[in-house]
Amino acid sequence: MLHITNLHASIDGTPILKGLSLDINPGEIHAIMGPNGSGKSTLSKVLAGHPAYEVTEGTVTFQGKNLFDLSPDERARAGVFLAFQYPVELPGVNNRAFLKLAVNATRKANDQPELDDVAFEALLRDKAAVVQMDTEFLDRAVNEGFSGGEKKRNEILQMALLDPTLAILDETDSGLDIDALRIVADGVNTIMTPDKAALVITHYQRLLDYIKPDVVHVLAHGRIIKTGGPELALKLEEQGYDWILEEAGLLSAV
């Protein structure tokens, strides 16, 4: 579904991704772990199309199409979703109205009829229940004054509503209480079907108890330096990154 080959990307002239390759097949959940500053969020934003990042080399195809031919909103409507590590606040933009616009923009692009208020409310109630989000948050401005955890729940609510083909979660588990962690996992598990895929960025193996990854990658210095199964996450939790960095000959460079 997603094929990343030798991806190089920089921000403000500083190279961050330096030859990253990764393949995700339908039905798979991939986890990416890696030290702070290694380029995980950069990867997620490059995939979503943030204009601040410049792709200098490499290719990314999504469902057979060149991802870089699509604008950020086209990518979203084609089924790529990014749950941000730091969701921004949008003062004055009503959350409910925003969610309805987003859902209908994607439906329209996929030749589905747009939802009217009644149908949308029903869908919204449904999905808000999955993330156990108080409807009070729907009447507020998007993320404004939300706590860290509430923002993350709002991301998962958006994911559940938009039902993406590829969900990228950037540290959605950071700053969540134990219950919320399960909610995030439930959110991912409810959207997962054999034709969907997820890329879960996390620092903690804990999340992977709830979302069972098929593949675990270690990203360091802008590249995938190790790939393994779920046991890799457990080993990282116990031993940290040094042994992998050493294996890759990168330790001295830290």
Ligand X SMILES: Nc1ncnc2c1ncn2[C@@H]1O[C@H](COP(=O)(O)OP(=O)(O)OP(=O)(O)O)[C@@H](O)[C@H]1O
Is residue 203 close enough to count as binding other proteins by CB under 8 A? no
- Find the binding residues for ligand X in span 58-97 (CB under 6 A): 85
The answer to whether 23 touches 3, Cβ cutoff 8 Å, is: yes
Q: How far is the CB of 122 from ligand X (least distance, A)?
A: 37
d(CA 4, CA 126): 35
Q: Establish if 113 lies at the interface with other proteins (CB under 8 A).
A: no
> Does the footprint of other proteins cover residue 158 (CB under 8 A)?
yes
**Stretch in the footprint of Mg ion (CB under 5 A) among 37-45, 129-137, 172-180, 237-245:** 37-45
Query: CA of 130: how far to CAs of 39, 88, 153, 192, in Å?
Result: 31, 22, 10, 14
Please name which of 5, 22, 3, 7 lies closest in space to residue 53, comparing C-alpha atoms. 7
Q: Identify the residue among 39, 58, 87, 213 touching other proteins (CB under 8 A).
A: 87
DSSP annotation of 68 reads: G
Complex with other proteins: residue 35 or 87, whichever CB lies closer = 87
Closer residue to Mg ion in complex, CB, 33/185: 33
d(CA 254, CA 250) in angstroms, rounded, equals 7
Q: Is 55 in the site for other proteins (CB under 8 A)?
A: no
Six token digits for residue 115: 């939802």
* 213 binds other proteins per the rule CB under 8 A: no
Pairing of strands 2-11, 14-24: antiparallel
- Closer residue to other proteins in complex, CB, 17/83: 83
Q: Which of 52, 118, 178, 253 binds other proteins (CB under 8 A)?
A: 52
Contacts of 106 (CB under 8 A, 6+ apart): 76, 77, 162
Residue 41 touching Mg ion (CB under 5 A): yes
3-class state of residue 70 by DSSP: coil
User: How far is Cα 168 from Cα 171, in angstroms, rounded to an integer?
Assistant: 10
Give 61's strand partners.
3, 66
Quick check: 101 binds other proteins (CB under 8 A)? yes
| Residue numbers at the binding site for ligand X (CB under 6 A) | 11-12, 14, 16, 34, 36-42, 85
| Residue numbers at the binding site for Mg ion (CB under 5 A) | 40-41, 85
| Residue numbers at the binding site for other proteins (CB under 8 A) | 48-52, 71-73, 75-77, 81-82, 84, 87-88, 90-94, 96-98, 100-102, 104-106, 109, 117, 139-141, 158, 162
